[in-house]
Structure 1
Amino acid sequence: MNDSMILRNLVGDVPAFLAESWRRVPTVLRPTQPPVGVFTVRDLELSLAGGLLRAPYVAVLGAGENPLDGIVAPRTVADRHLPDYVDPEKVSRRVAEGASVLLRNIEHWHAPTAALAYELGTDLGRPVEAFFFLTPAERQALPPHRDDADVFVVQVQGQKEWTVHSTPTDGRWDRGRAEQPGQVVLRVRLAPGEVLYLPRGAAHSAVAADGSTSAHLSLTVRDIGVAHLGAVVQRYLAAELELPPRPVEETGLLDTAARLLEHQRTRLADLTPQELLDAARAAALALRHKPPTTPCLGEARR
């Protein structure tokens, strides 16, 4: 892994974090320069007021409710009926009723967040997505749940009381709501500027505390699973293989089957687990880890 300013601004002592916390235990971090100003509540307000956000980039979260219930409105653009634009006034009413707001994948459309996510992903060798939560006082956005990712929670405004459970003991767990979240291993109240690291799969929940609205930025570090490994193996086995696609005779089919098996045995014999893991992570990074770009449109092309 690399060690850039972004990673240091999140965790402080990078070597200590990697040795003691990364992929192991939930950890409260108090860095001297946390990225609290990258995306703020004011940015949330301006993004909604701009009127261009559509579902599912925006959701409202409340017990048993549809995350889009009552917040979208149709528009007609270039004679096309588009049903899923987010209405900022409707979102405001839902927040006044106690709902939380979730902005998904703000790295897709907010340039400073895109730069932060890209640099952090480069450091960690994994794609990074960014989510922003605003939760009214004494409310809980989500029930105890597991994320299929490591998460850095950056407290931006207000305070939030977090309950974190133990990480899964093996790979047989599901993301989403955790009916049996496991043993509580950490309870902490985050203040602005503090960071909570959540290992992949650790069930967690949080309540906006101290009688005020809470806002936090979740930097979500994606990693691979068995499906990614399997896809890379399939591509690896198919490489450098030339076989007739439709043998007609039985002998031709048997010969093709024999050549296929021999090719795959040879290829697999040369592939180590570490090489497979590295190749799968590289493929995920190439697919979902793109440098931010700024269009230059000020000078007309000739």
Structure 2
Amino acid sequence: MIQLDALPSAADFYARYWNRQPFMVRGGVPEDVISALISADELAGLALDDGPQSRMVRNADWTCTFGPLTEQDFTDAGEADWSLLVQNVEQFHPPTAALLPCFGFAPRWLMDDIMVSYSATGGSVGPHVDSYHVFLVQGQGRRRWTVGRQPLGRENYIEGLDLKILHEPIEGDEIEVRRGDVLYVPPKFGHEGISLEDSLTFSIGFLGPRMSDLMGAYGHYLSQREDTDRRYVGEDLTPASAGSVIDTITVEDIRDRLTRQLGSADFSRWLVGFFAEQSHPDMAQGEQREETLSADQLRARLQQGAALIKPQQIKFTLAIAPSGEACLGFLGDSMALHSDLVPVAEKLIQGQPVANIDALEFLRRLYNLQVLEFI
């Protein structure tokens, strides 16, 4: 396996590794970031709650218990050979989102979540493949990974399990990781991790949607907007359309209409909102604060030296047209941006504080929707 001295630049990442081959970086995440992440005890606490999606895997028989878990589940698990996995940890433990700036070269708009797994000694979720790109950050303890050297052409799973466990062991490179090490695994590369001692692993997953999901979601978006959901009335039909045959000209006409709809400004505005949705269904979607700020109140605070910042766990997406006009997505919503506001949005995306009085209404709307916070 390729071992790098540091996490790659964006140019190297997309040219050499993205969708192509795994790599490993020793100490890729600095200690000050690792020390801020969720602890094993805090992770277990999340698994007891109703909100987070969690599961416990026992690798003696590959049984899987889905959360919310109970304290008895942990007692029964014993001292070895089990793992706890919790999804969307960055939403329920915001300090864990401090991992995300380390991977600024990756497409944040495709990020699904940060899943955290605690494994007792010997714990594993078996040999498997994923449909997503994943960065595996070792946060505690040691873990031995086996990673395939090429994508699996055929996935043969053990039948009768809740988990997708490959029938055959992974043939590939073995590597032992420690605190702060980073492993990148592209989709369809078989991999298996076994905990050599009690350990925590942080999995940052990047998952693209199916084309059917995109088309269905865009169709739903159009159906909510009377100005764009135009009915096909067959105004260009000819005598060739009589009866049950849809003639070639009509097929091409309808295809062209759909293509024009995809090329409209509505599509860009919908797309940024689609990719800015939080992956956990219960997270707030741009709800108004109970105590909103007026323009005068926000102006006064900014003039007194306050600034606004986007929390790391909130995803922003931005699409910029050649004209300079743009669309900003956040929490499943979106807004059109004048070109003057694009630099402000870019600073927020980069995690920088913003106090621009000339962007007052833009900042006020985002603050009142709980997208920005004061620092």
Matches within 5 A, 1:14-93: 14-30=10-26, 31=28, 33=30, 35-40=33-38, 43-49=39-45, 53-54=49-50, 57-63=53-59, 64-68=61-65, 85-93=68-76
- CA spacing shift, 1:56–1:141, aligned 2, 3 Å: farther
Give the letter for the 1:285 counterpart: F
Cα distance change, pair 122–29 in 1 and its aligned pair in 2 (3 A): closer
* Per-residue deviation, residues 94-128 of structure 1 (Å, max 9, x unmatched): 14253221122212311123465599689513133
Root-mean-square deviation (CA, aligned residues, Å) is: 4.8
Q: Deviations over 1:145-169 (max 9, x none)?
A: 0111100000011111100113437
- Alignment partner, residue 146 of structure 1: 129
Q: CA deviation at 1:179?
A: 2.8
Alignment of 1:165 onto 2:148: yes
Asked if the contact 1:236–1:267 (Cα under 8 Å) also holds between the matched residues in 2, the reply is: no
Instruction: Give the direction of change, closer, same or farther, for the CA distance of 1:115–1:182 in structure 2 (3 Å limit).
Output: closer
Cα deviation for residue 37 of structure 1 reads 2.8
**Matching of residue 220 in structure 1 with residue 220 in structure 2:** no
SS in 2 for 1:145: coil
Counterpart selection for 1:133 from 95, 112, 117: 117
> Which amino acid is 2:232 matched to?
L
Aligned partners of 2:152 and 2:190 also within 8 Å: no
> Shift of residue 12 of structure 1?
4.9
User: TM-score normalised to the size of structure 1?
Assistant: 0.66
Tell me, yes or no, if structure 1 residue 194 matches structure 2 residue 181. Answer: yes
Residues 263-286 of structure 1 deviation map (CA, whole Å, 9 limit, x = unaligned): 32324666999xxxx999756513
Q: Give the stretch that moved more between structures: 290-299 or 100-109.
A: 290-299
Tell me which amino acid in the other structure corresponds to 1:53. D
Say how many residue pairs are matched: 263
**CA shift in 2, pair 1:173/1:208, >3 Å:** closer
Deviation at 1:54, TM superposition (A): 3.0
Partner SS for 2:24: strand
TM superposition shift of 1:87: 1.9
Q: Which has the higher contact order (CA 8 A, sep 6+)?
A: 1
1:171–1:298 Cα change, 3 Å: farther
SS at match of 2:90: helix
**SS of equivalent residue, structure 1 residue 168:** coil
Letter in 2 for 1:286: A
Counterpart of 2:91 in structure 1 is 108
- Answer whether contact 2:139 2:200 (CA < 8 A) is retained: yes
How far did residue 262 of structure 1 move? 4.4
Shift of 1:222: 1.0
1:156 aligns with 2:147: no
Is residue 2:285 matched to residue 1:265?
no
What amino acid is the match of 2:21?
V
| Superposition TM-score, scaled by structure 2 size | 0.55
> Residues of 2 paired with 1:13 and 1:188: CA distance?
23
Quick one: distance in 1 between partners of 2:53 and 2:219?
A: 33
Q: Which residue matches 1:76?
A: none
Separation (CA, whole Å) in 2 of partners of 1:95 and 1:263:
65
Task: Answer whether contact 1:166 1:202 (CA < 8 A) is retained.
Answer: yes
**1:293/1:193 CA distance change after superposition, 3 Å:** farther
Map Cα deviations across residues 83-102 of structure 1 (whole Å, 9 max, x no partner).
Answer: x6422353144142532211
Cα distance change, pair 237–291 in 1 and its aligned pair in 2 (3 A): closer
Percent identical pairs in the alignment equals: 19
Moved more, 104-113 or 150-159: 104-113
1:126–1:223 Cα contact (<8 Å) kept: yes
Aligned to 1:79: none
Over 3 Å counting, the alpha-carbon distance change for 1:298 and 1:66 in structure 2 is farther
Contact 1:151/1:219 (8 A) holds in 2 = yes
Give the conservation status (yes or no) of the 8 Å contact 2:83–2:119: yes
Amino acid at match of 1:216: T
2:307 corresponds in structure 1 to none
Structure 1: gaps (5+ residues)? 1-9, 70-83, 246-250
Is 1:176–2:164 an aligned residue pair? yes
Contact 1:166 1:182 in 2 (8 A): no
